[in-house]
Amino acid sequence: MGVSDAPPPEETLALLGDEYARAILIATRSEPMTADALAEALDAAPSTVYDRIDDLTGAGFLSEVTRTDDRGNHYAEYRARLDRLGLELTDEGFELAVSHRDRDETAARLHALWSDLR
């Protein structure tokens, strides 16, 4: 698992303080899901889910893979990248360390493309 730079602690804590953001991360930890599937699973408005997806993707906590269905339509699936979050109190304030799951995004996209071509 690789450790990367974290967004500012205040932004990260505010984002993870949101129940929908946490629920999206939990739901997408094991397998990717579409925004529509997330909205249904969380009993949330699609606009709420899309807003949280944007926030989580921007923070680097969620990845997006584009897939193609049998009719050639494209759609996005989302998967949690966040694995571990560490918070440390220092003399200057708080510091965050974020660990992402060991997933090579290029390999995941190639796998998704290959699966779609079959």
What count of residues does the chain have?
118
Let me know: does 42 contact 54? Beta carbons within 8 Å. Answer: no
Per the domain annotation, does 3 fall within a domain?
no
pTM (2 d.p.): 0.78
Q: Which domain holds residue 64?
A: 9-115
What value does the mean pLDDT take over residues 85-102? 86
Residue 64 lies in a domain: yes
**Is 80 part of any domain?**
yes
Alpha-carbon span 87 to 16, nearest angstrom: 13
25 assigned to some structural domain:
yes
CATH of the domain at 77: 1.10.10.10
Structurally, the chain folds into a number of domains equal to 1
pLDDT, tens only, 8-42: 888 999 999 999 999 999 999 999 999 999 999 99
Residue 28 lies in a domain: yes
